[in-house]
């Protein structure tokens, strides 16, 4: 059982604290959905969880996970995929070449680029430069990054932006399968992601943070998901 724990974790930019102290845990098979208005600090918090920004206070820790080298993981960054607003793929390099880079950079258990692109319904673009893809195709190719290397924690910042309804549903299936294998998901979103039984962390300005605020079901009702 892997558990990621935030204890009084606050996040910010430069010297300014944007997100006040947060406490939450996410364990194997669970998902945490971070919601809140534009500019409230969802991306800032996710980048801090991923280790891309220093915490302004408190700590984020991981228990029960192994690094790709088989050592006990001490940092979230050792066990996580981070999918941010930017795709982290080079425009002039083929999709296959980009995925090969991430396989060698991250290491660990790998799967073929062909299998990963099939899973996101994008097999036909494998040998095209990433920059030739449409916005939605680029997003799906970036999602294939989650599949070419196994990492237990997926940190996802608005993962379904630019995706059509079919691709959103397909990604929901991939997230469900990841959780069923014991994976963990922390996602920021303005839209329902199709995550069942997800817990919610709703960020608010100048207020006590409301863990278990909106649920995925509330978002689904707004969006017409069924
Ligand atoms: N690179 C940066 N440097 C300085 N400040 C930043 C940077 N990126 C974001 N901020 C500031 O941090 C605050 C939180 O931004 P953040 O992107 O985390 O919000 P968000 O909740 O993810 O917003 P959205 O829903 O619009 O994506 C904002 O006030 C923003 O101006």
* Ligand 1: residue whose CA is nearest its atom 29: 39
* Section 41-54 average pLDDT: 96
Question: Which residues belong to CATH 3.40.50.300 in the chain?
Answer: 1-79+152-207
Please compute Rg for the chain using Cα positions: 17
Q: Specify the fold of 1-79+152-207.
A: Rossmann fold (3.40.50)
Q: Does 222 score more than 70 pLDDT?
A: no
Is the per-residue pLDDT at 4 higher than 80?
yes
**Interface predicted TM-score of the whole assembly (ipTM), two decimals:** 0.95
**CA 55 / ligand 1 centre spacing (Å):** 15
Tell me which residue has its CA closest to atom 30 in ligand 1.
39
The pair of structure tokens assigned to 135 is 């916005």
pLDDT band of 193, cuts 50, 70, 90: confident
For a substitution probing ligand 1, which of 11, 15, 39, 45 has the most ligand atoms within 8 Å of its CB?
A: 39
What is the Cα–Cα distance from 218 to 204, expressed in whole angstroms?
A: 17
- The percentage of the chain sitting over the pLDDT mark of 70, rounded to a whole number, equals 91
Q: Whose alpha carbon is nearest atom 16 of ligand 1?
A: 41
Lining ligand 1 with CB less than 6 A are 13, 18, 36, 38-44
DSSP sequence for 15-79: TEEEEEEEEEEEETT-EEEEE-STTSSHHHHHHHHTTSS--SEEEEEEES-B-TTSSBP-SGGGT
The whole-number pLDDT of residue 40 equals 94
The pLDDT confidence band at residue 216, using thresholds 50, 70 and 90, is low
Q: Which of 78-82, 201-205, 218-222 has the highest mean pLDDT?
A: 78-82
User: How do residues 127-167 score in pLDDT, each as one tens digit?
Assistant: 999 999 999 999 999 999 999 999 999 999 999 888 899 99
Nearest CA to ligand 1 atom 1: 13
pLDDT band at 29 (very low <50, low <70, confident <90, very high): very high
Q: Whose CA is nearest to atom 4 of ligand 1?
A: 13
């Amino acid at each position: 059982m892997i558990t990621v724990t935030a204890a009084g974790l606050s996040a910010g930019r430069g010297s300014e604290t944007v997100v006040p102290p947060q406490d939450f845990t996410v364990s194997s098979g669970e998902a945490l959905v971070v919601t809140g208005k534009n500019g409230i600090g969802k991306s800032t918090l996710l980048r801090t969880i991923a280790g891309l920004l220093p915490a302004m206070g408190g700590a984020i820790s991981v228990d029960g996970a192994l690094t790709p080298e088989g050592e006990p993981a001490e940092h979230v960054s050792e066990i996580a995929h981070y999918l941010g607003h930017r795709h982290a793929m080079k425009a002039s390099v083929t999709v296959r070449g980009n995925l090969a880079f991430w396989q060698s950079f991250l290491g660990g258990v790998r799967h073929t680029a062909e299998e990963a692109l099939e899973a996101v319904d994008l097999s036909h673009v494998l040998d095209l430069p990433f920059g030739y893809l449409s916005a939605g195709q680029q997003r799906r190719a970036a999602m294939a990054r989650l599949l070419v290397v196994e990492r237990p924690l997926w940190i996802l910042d608005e993962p379904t932006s630019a995706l059509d309804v079919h691709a959103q549903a397909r990604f929901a299936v991939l997230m469900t399968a990841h959780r069923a294998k014991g994976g963990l998901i922390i996602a920021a979103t303005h839209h329902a992601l199709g995550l069942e039984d997800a817990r919610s962390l709703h960020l608010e300005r100048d207020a006590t943070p409301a863990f278990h605020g909106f649920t995925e079901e509330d978002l689904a009702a707004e969006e017409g998901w069924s």
